[in-house]
Amino acid sequence: MTLTDNRLDGLDHDGGLDELEDEAITIIREVTAETRAPVLLFSGGKDSAVLLHLAAKAFRPGNLPFPVMHVDTGHNFDEVIEYRDRLVKEYNVRLVVASVQASIDAGRVVEDTGPRASRNRLQSVTLLDAIAEHQFDAAFGGGRRDEDKARAKERILSFRDRFGQWEPRAQRPEPWNMLNAKIRTGEHLRAFPLSNWTELDIWRYIGREEVPLPSIYFSHRRVVVERNGMLLSVGGPVVAEPGEVPFEETVRYRTVGDASCTGAVRSTAANVHDVITEVAAARITERGATRADDNFSDSAMEDRKREGYF
Amino acid sequence: MVLRIATAGSVDDGKSTLIGRLLHDTKTVFEDQLASVEKASLRYGDGSLNLALLTDGLRAEREQGITIDVAYRYFATPERTFVVADTPGHAQYTRNMVTGASVSDVAIVLVDARNGLTEQTRRHLFVASLLGVKQVMLAVNKMDLVDFSQDRYDEIVAAARAHATALPAPVALNPLPISALLGDNVVDSSDNMPWYTGPSLLRQLETLELDDDHSIGARLSVQWVIRPYSTEHHDFRGLAGRLTGGTVAIGDRVRVLPGAQQSTIVSIERGGVPQETAEPGEAISIQLADDIDISRGDVVVTVAAPKPPVVADQIVADVSWMVDKPLEVGTRWIIKHLTRTAKAFVSAIETRHDVSTASQHSTERLELNDLGRVHLNVSVPLVVDLYDDHRPGGAAILVDEATGMTCGALMIRGFDGLES
């Protein structure tokens, strides 16, 4: 029995999607009820798209009782910004934009220089500043435990101290998945309603619910350079280095992040069904395939989480 | 159907190796994860592929070769989807195992074939029993290190069966001999132990039958009241929550506890989509025919419920204590039960459970990793079930008022009801 057989087999039946949806909606309602000023972090990526879809469902026919926040690195794909603004209108939600460029301009962070500089790490500071400025006490995120070995150890409700830091040894136990949202002034919570979802669950749910996504998730022609085994879109923050020859390729993105360090994969998957088939057959996790920032070291994700990264 | 598994064992019993083996042999491990483990094996081990590094994700764990925190893993076979809560075997083991077991259908308890039943094995069996995990896979591991000896295996299984009779609640023991390191009887059957004719661990997990919760009657603990205040939905007043205990249908008569008011369900929605009925586990909102005062924390129960919850402000509960600050008679805590938060005062500590001998001791305080039975006075009436009747209504947590830390997990065993 191969992986592909295993995973494709699950496509014909619901495979627990209803249960995952019930669990996520229950978490979203509970955290909303137990906190004073929650916010939903929206990157324009597929996980946050599913999160927003679930949050809207949780309070129907009422409106979403909290705003969404986009941490804008300034290194965006145009398609993602267009998509973000369209969704905000469709769901009738209030959008807060936290700008990494503004953090740089204000001298809160210093940008790395050179052709490979990424703003992904700088997001932590901007995010924490925005949480403080708007006095949010809980932030919903699309993190999943299957993404990374450090995330596999994270609770549904993740406690952050006054410095926004995650301390894996001092996490609150969650017996029976009971959520304890009690915090003191200056502390805040991250809530992960998609904790128990896998990448395949996300895609199957997107297919079932017809959740809209940015077009870059599906195959298109794009000019790229190949760097460290990843295909980076040329233009914007990525500049071809000496010896790199840009070429046009049929690609799609598996994650949406800072354009400087999010790689595309060769793919002809043009719709959700194609993508599900591709994901089911994939041999590399999505972060490993497309995120240069996680490949810095074996503990890259853990280090950034401790700093306050999502 | 999803099967939720908690794993437990002493330090070095090979839990992480077993889970790594399950992930690896079910082809759940991706190439980059395997490459990362190979790289880490060179750095932290003797260079041979260390499958434990698949689950020991934190740097401190890799450096010390231990598991610190509960890790959740997901894998699937054509027969079933599995969620594994991998719980550490060292310090804070009871707290972590309680957390893992609280959300699990089955526990895998690992025993090192060389050491046999240890105090920790007895502790794990006790916790499984206390938390109501009815099925235990007793995996006698490292059989390769005892020459695959059937005599040794039989001896360990007999000792476990003898101990199981002293547990607080019956547990079904499913023993089998394995080698997580070599893969014997984990996914594939073993050629090294022809005397064992049963199915492999994975085959057993795939086919394990669980007792269906017999219906005690539907209840909905109100999380949030949906009031759109829009022209279109001007009078909409949806009671949102997750249904447990039984099914509901439009037209059902209900009571709203802890009050005494009754009404009738006139609408049911799930994710904004109207439906006629709802099943346990569904996150729904319902509307009632009468405009009665209902808010977060109230519990809607069908009048026809065969075993309705009880309204009580005095509770007897088993507690798993999870922090350094002790639980003492006369102390006050925040209690969270269903969607109600209140204050709880410890009026008595009845006993501390000795988990290795399954006996009881009187005590003035419960310390980190202790299990015991306490009496609590609660500041407001709660709508409770006995834990063995209904986990959601019979479970609660205690929170430290000063630090906000979750300190104790409660399993309700009795109550002095205001009304029954």
B219-302 CATH choice from 2.40.30.10, 1.10.150.650, 2.60.260.20, 2.80.10.50: 2.40.30.10
More confident residue, B1 or B65: B1
More confident residue, B321 or A307: B321
- Number of domains present in the structure of chain A: 2
Instruction: Find all residues with CB under 8 Å of B203, minimum gap 6, and list them.
Output: none
Residues A11 and A124 in one domain: yes
Q: Is the pLDDT of residue B338 over 60?
A: yes
- State how far the Cα of A174 lies from the Cα of B96, in Å rounded to an integer: 10
Fold of B2-207: Rossmann fold (3.40.50)
**What residues 64-103 of chain A have any CB closer than 8 A to a CB of chain B?**
none
Per-chain mean pLDDT for chain B: 88
CB contacts, 8 Å: B76 with chain A? 6-7, 10
pLDDT attached to residue A6: 37
Contact B78 A184 (CB under 8 A): no
- Taking only the tens place, the pLDDT of each residue in B153-204 is 999 999 999 999 889 888 999 999 999 988 899 988 999 999 999 999 999 9
Residue among A255, A257, A230, A258 at smallest CA distance from A244: A230
- State how far the Cα of B205 lies from the Cα of B212, in Å rounded to an integer: 16
Q: Is residue A2 in a domain?
A: no
pLDDT attached to residue B197: 94
Q: Is A18 exposed, middle or buried (0-12, 13-18, 19+ CB in 10 A)?
A: middle
Contact A63 B228 (CB under 8 A): yes
- State how far the Cα of B374 lies from the Cα of B385, in Å rounded to an integer: 16
Q: Is residue A1 in a domain?
A: no
Q: Is residue A245 in a domain?
A: yes
CA atoms within 13 A on the CB side of A177: 21
Residues A181 and A219 in one domain: no
ipTM of the assembly? 0.89
Residues A198 and A270 in one domain: no
A146 in contact with chain B, both atoms CB, cutoff 8 A? yes
Q: Of the given ranges (B88-102, B124-138, B354-368), which has the lowest mean pLDDT?
A: B88-102
Residues A121 and A245 in one domain: no
Residues A132 and A265 in one domain: no
pLDDT attached to residue A100: 81
Residues A147 and A42 in one domain: yes
Contact A173 B240 (CB under 8 A): no
CATH number of the domain within which A144 lies = 3.40.50.620
Task: Using 70 as the pLDDT threshold, list the residues of chain A that sit under it.
Answer: 1-15, 114-118, 120, 149, 168-169, 282-310
Contact B33 A302 (CB under 8 A): no
Residues A135 and A147 in one domain: yes
Contact A172 B72 (CB under 8 A): no
More confident residue, A186 or B44: A186
Q: Is residue A86 in a domain?
A: yes
Helix (H, G, I), strand (E, B) or coil at A292: helix
**Do A68 and A56 meet the contact criterion of CB atoms below 8 Å apart?**
no
Q: Is the pLDDT of residue B47 over 60?
A: no
Residues A241 and A199 in one domain: no
Q: Do domains B219-302 and B310-419 have the same CATH topology?
A: yes
- State how far the Cα of B88 lies from the Cα of B6, in Å rounded to an integer: 11
Domains of chain B: which residue ranges? 2-207, 219-302, 310-419
pLDDT attached to residue B72: 82
Residues A99 and A129 in one domain: yes
- Taking only the tens place, the pLDDT of each residue in B242-301 is 999 999 999 999 999 999 899 999 999 999 899 999 999 999 999 999 999 999 999 999
Write down the pTM of the prediction: 0.88
Residues A167 and A277 in one domain: no
Highest CATH level, class, for B310-419:
mainly beta
**Interface with chain B: mutation pick from A28, A182, A254, highest number of B CBs within 10 Å:** A182
**What residues 51-90 of chain B have any CB closer than 8 A to a CB of chain A?**
54-60, 62, 68-74, 76-78, 81, 83
Residues spanned by the domain of A188: 7-204+299-307
pLDDT attached to residue B380: 95
- State how far the Cα of A181 lies from the Cα of A296, in Å rounded to an integer: 33
Residues A164 and A222 in one domain: no
Q: Is residue A239 in a domain?
A: yes
Residues A157 and A222 in one domain: no
Chain A residue with minimum CA distance to B58: A150
- Taking only the tens place, the pLDDT of each residue in B325-334 is 999 999 999 9
Contact A198 B397 (CB under 8 A): no
CB contacts, 8 Å: A51 with chain B? none
Q: Of the given ranges (A265-274, B25-34, B59-68, B87-96), which has the lowest mean pLDDT?
A: B59-68
